[in-house]
Structure formats: C-alpha cells, structure tokens
C-alpha cells in the first residue's frame, strides 16, 4: 500500500502556543513543503478567518508540483441541510482539490458537545462527505477522538467510520485527539478496524504522552495508509506527531518509500527553514535534524567515534542533511581536542603538551561559568591562543556605555569605543537599542574601514544566564552572542559579574573569529 504524508503545519501547527503565521509565511511554507515532496498540505480552515480564505486564493498562483492543497472544516451542523451549512460552503469556495472534514466519533461528545442524537451525527457525517464528494473534491475524513470513542463504545465508533465510507471518503483518519493512547493500543485497534471497513485508514496523533511519533509508526505497521503531522511537531498543547521524525523512520528505518531517499538530505534544512519562518526556537535535541542529534561530548564516545562512526550514530547524519559534531567541555578527553584540532587544521597529536593544557584550561574556565559546547567559535580562538597561533587584529584602549532614562520612559543607549588598529587610534560612538547593541555598532563602526568584511555580519541572538543565582544582582552571568553572515553562523561566550563586560568579551571574540576566518587561518 502506498503511504501518503499529510502536513497540517499551516493549520493544526498554528494552534500551538506562540505560533502565528502571516499570509506570506503560509505561502512560503506551502511552496517549501511542496518542493520537499509532501503529498497533502492542509492550508487552514476557510470558515474561521479571512486570512485562511485569502491563502487558498493566493496558493493557486504558486503552481505546486507535488502537493494537493486541502481545506479543513467540520461536518454540517445538526438538523440543517448540507446546502445550508456555511462551513461546507466556505470549503467549496476555496476550489481546492481536497477537503478534510472532522466529525464526532465518541458518543460522549455527540451528546455533550453537539447536543444531538447518535443517529443524527451519523447522518451529518455521511451527508457532509457525500456532498463535498459530489462537487468533485477528494474528501478525507478525520475521526476526531477516535481512540477514546472506540474504548467507550466500539460499535458506535465503527458506525461513524462506515458513515464516512458510505459518503465516499478516500481516507478514514483515526485521530488520537487527546494524545493519551499507547502504541500497543493503536496497533491493536487499527488491526481490528481494518476488518470492519474497506477504505484506507490514516493516523493523526497528538503528543501529550510524548508518543505522537511512536503511535504514528505503530499505525503504519498495522496497515494505515496515511500519516498526518507537522514539521518540528508544532501544534496545540504538547504538539502533533513530528514529521521530521516520522518521515526518516519510514524511509531510512522501515524502507517505505514515502518519498525518494535523496530528498531526505533536505530534511534538516527544511526543519530549520520552517523554524525561521515560524519564528520559533530551534530545538537542539530534536531527533534527526537537531544540532545536537549527532553531537558527541563524552571522551569515551568521541574516542570510539574517531575509530568508527557507527559506534555512536544510528545512521549517517548526511542522509538527513545533518552533520557529526564533536563538543568540548569539562567532560571531554584528549580525543575531543584532537578532533577539533583536526577540524581547524592545527598540528596536534595525543602526545602534544598543548592537548593536556587545553583540556585543563577548558575545565578551569567551565568551573568559572564558561560553556564551550554551545560556543565553538570561542573554543576555536582558545585553542589558537593556547598554541601560540592567536592573531590580534585590534587593541581596546577604552570603551564607555551610557544609558539615559528619558521622560517618556524610554532608554537611550550610547557607546564610545577607542581602539588601536595597525598603529592607528580609532575613536567612534554609536547609539543602539540597549547597551550591547550600542557597543556592537560602535565596535564595527571603528573596524569597518580597516576590515570591510565586518559590514556583512550581524548579531542575530543574545542570551544571558545568571550562573550563581543565590548571589542575586552580584551573581556571575554568562552571555552567548550569535553572529551571522551570508554563509555562516557562529557563537561566542563571555563570563563576568558585569553583564556589559561579559557581553564585550563575546562581541570581541565574535568579530575576531570572523576576521580569522576571512584570512583562512
């Protein structure tokens, strides 16, 4: 049986806390999902807001090559004709190829939410599916709360599926709407349901027990023909089944060709693209596509990895467009340092005295509050410093930051920086949205005529954490600063009791790192 992938990031995903997509965002995502090879893209609920209706109008201009766009909605309301239902009329107005409508499977919901009879609910399902089908749409039926409904009243739950089947649904999608079902139950129920209906089954899982992916895979193993989910697992409450895990499991682990294997190499980029468009934080420990998915920190692990990557990696990360990373921290052994030295083309072996010195320095600095596993640019510079290969591009003579609280409550930040560059004293000033932004601008303003490349970099992330919180306002702080240019992203770290000093350390190292990379040292 062919397995189809149904993406609901643009609809179910946007119900997650902190998620909000503009029309332009939704169009960008639809185009990228289509390029990746997703079979169905659920565009939204046209009856719920004008933006979704506009999406269905504009998405036609993209001329997608792979995906069918589906409009989402519910069955008709109780005790009215399908031709009088506004929700169904809005779905038809979108002129999409497919429609996905949900109906009540659990008799508890029929009585308590719909306030109607079980018989009327069956008519609502069958008539709604048949009506959209008669208008030329492919209709996918989402059986809401199916597993809870089947546990409570299996006979009625099956009757709701048969009603949708009678209406002509192309898939009967069993929804674990509350996310409380176990994989063994999913497998068992779908195995039984397959004997009750002839229409292909689908699965739609939520992640409230952190089983969204496991339940989706169990459903496929039991014979489901469609799996629904979202990129990065976005969705209401704890999210939906994560397609960036489901898809590689199907393709790489189970050998099910839901899409060409070469497409898997785009998976990590797709995940990060969706993260950026949705303006959501990147989950580093996300399987397959996270920055930490193939990151190795323990000395024993790294030592084994150097000998054979299969020792601690379940797949080659290149298969999903990711990469192996070796981290350095107080838990590191010589192997970690040697691997990083090789990456940096630095001449070092296990007998080099610098190897032990670098490890001791890392442990000393991490005891002070530094963390190098998340600030690889700072570790690069530390290694060069310890090996006598550091290059100083400029010298700080003095810097001042002044914050002025204005009458309207706003704060005006000014920074002045005095540097010596190639024997020349450069004195500059800049205003910014806060003291760190002002320092960043003043520093780069001083450097730009000597090193034009700094014009191409910009600060994209700034994180502060109090290390010893019990010390209150006198506590030591750790600052991470991330810069980006047209090709790369890098992070540096600074630590001090003074947040401005810690920020300055990280800022200077971020710029120095860029200048070093520019010289290909």
DSSP string, 190-233: HHHHTTT--SPEEEEEB-TTS-HHHHHHHHHHHT-SEEEEBGGG
Chain mean pLDDT for the chain: 90
DSSP strand pairing (138-144 vs 325-326): unpaired
Predicted pLDDT of residue 461: 85
For each of the domains in the chain, give its residue range(s) and CATH number, in order of start. Answer: 4-259 (3.20.20.70), 295-368 (no CATH), 395-519 (3.30.160.270)
Segment 421-428 shows an average pLDDT of 92
pLDDT reported for residue 370: 85
pLDDT value at 473 more than 80 = no
Give pLDDT, residue 327: 67
Structure tokens at 464: 């502060």
- State the residue for tokens 């690069």: 380
Q: What is the pTM of this model?
A: 0.74
Range of lowest pLDDT (23-32, 41-50, 156-165, 223-232): 41-50
Largest CA distance in the chain: 88
CB count in 10 Å sphere of residue 53: 18
Q: What is the pLDDT of residues 287-298, one digit of tens each?
A: 999 988 988 776
- As a whole number, mean pLDDT of residues 365-389 equals 83
At 335 the pLDDT is: 66
* CA distance linking residue 175 with residue 198, whole number of Å: 18
Instruction: Output 485 or 275, whichever has higher pLDDT.
Output: 275
pLDDT of residue 128: 98
Question: What is the mean pLDDT of the segment spanning 487-502?
Answer: 89
Rounded to an integer, what distance in angstroms lies between the CA atom of residue 106 and that of residue 118? 9
CA–CA dist 515, 508 (Å, integer) = 11
Q: How far is CA 369 from CA 10, 249, 365, 495, 502, in A?
A: 41, 38, 7, 7, 11
The phi, psi pair for 419, rounded to 5°, reads -120, 155
> What pLDDT is stored for residue 521 in this prediction?
37
pLDDT at 329 over 60: no
* pLDDT tier, 489 (very low <50, low <70, confident <90, very high otherwise): confident
Q: Give the burial class of 485: count Cβ atoms within 10 A of its Cβ; 0-12 exposed, 13-18 middle, 19 or more buried.
A: middle
The pLDDT of residue 344: 65
């Amino acid at each position: 049986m062919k397995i189809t992938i149904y993406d609901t990031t643009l609809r179910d995903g946007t119900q997650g806390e902190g998620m909000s997509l503009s029309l332009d965002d939704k169009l960008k995502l639809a185009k990228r999902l289509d390029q990746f090879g997703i079979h169905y893209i659920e565009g939204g609920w046209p009856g719920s807001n004008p933006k979704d209706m506009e999406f269905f109008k504009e998405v036609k201009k993209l001329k997608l090559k792979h995906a069918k766009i589906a409009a989402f909605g519910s069955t008709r309301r109780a005790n009215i004709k399908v031709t009088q239902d506004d929700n169904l009329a809005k779905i038809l107005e979108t002129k999409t190829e497919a429609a996905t409508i949900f109906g009540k499977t659990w008799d508890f919901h029929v009585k308590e939410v719909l306030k109607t009879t079980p018989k009327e609910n069956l008519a609502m399902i069958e008539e709604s599916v048949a009506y959209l089908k008669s208008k030329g749409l492919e209709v996918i039926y989402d059986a809401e709360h199916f597993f809870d409904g089947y546990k409570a009243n299996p006979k009625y739950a099956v009757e709701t599926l048969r009603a949708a089947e009678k209406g002509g649904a192309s898939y009967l999608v069993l929804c674990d709407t509350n996310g409380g079902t176990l994989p063994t139950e999913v497998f068992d129920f779908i195995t039984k349901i397959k004997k009750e209906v002839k229409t292909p089954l689908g699965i739609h899982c939520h992640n409230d027990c952190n089983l969204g992916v496991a339940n989706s895979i169990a459903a496929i193993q039991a014979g489901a023909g469609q799996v629904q989910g979202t990129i990065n697992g976005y969705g209401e409450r704890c999210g939906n089944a994560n397609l960036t895990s489901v898809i590689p499991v199907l393709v790489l682990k189970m050998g099910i060709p839901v899409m060409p294997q070469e497409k898997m190499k785009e998976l990590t980029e797709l995940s990060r693209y969706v993260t950026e468009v949705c303006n959501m934080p990147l989950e580093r420990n996300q399987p397959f596509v996270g920055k930490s998915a193939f990151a190795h920190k323990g000395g024993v692990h790294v030592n084994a990895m150097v000998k054979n990557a299969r020792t601690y990696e379940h797949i080659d990360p290149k298969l999903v467009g990711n990469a192996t990373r070796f981290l350095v921290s107080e838990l590191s052994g010589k192997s970690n340092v040697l691997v990083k030295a090789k990456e940096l083309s630095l001449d070092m072996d296990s007998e080099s005295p610098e190897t032990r010195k670098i490890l001791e320095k890392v442990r000393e600095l991490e005891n002070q509050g530094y963390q190098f596993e998340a600030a690889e640019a700072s570790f690069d510079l530390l290694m060069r410093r310890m090996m006598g290969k550091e290059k100083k591009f400029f010298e700080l003579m003095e810097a001042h930051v002044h914050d002025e609280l204005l009458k309207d409550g706003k704060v005006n930040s000014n920074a002045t920086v005095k540097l010596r560059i190639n024997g020349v004293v450069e004195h500059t000033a800049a205003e910014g949205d806060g003291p760190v932004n002002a320092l960043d601008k003043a520093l780069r303003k001083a450097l730009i005529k000597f090193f034009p490349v700094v014009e191409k970099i910009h600060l994209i992330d700034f994180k502060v954490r109090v290390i010893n919180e019990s010390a209150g306002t006198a506590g030591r702080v750790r600052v991470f600063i991330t810069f980006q240019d047209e090709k790369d992203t890098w992070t540096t770290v600074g630590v001090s009791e003074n947040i401005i000093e810690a920020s300055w350390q990280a800022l200077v190292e971020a710029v120095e790192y860029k200048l070093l990379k520019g010289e290909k040292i």
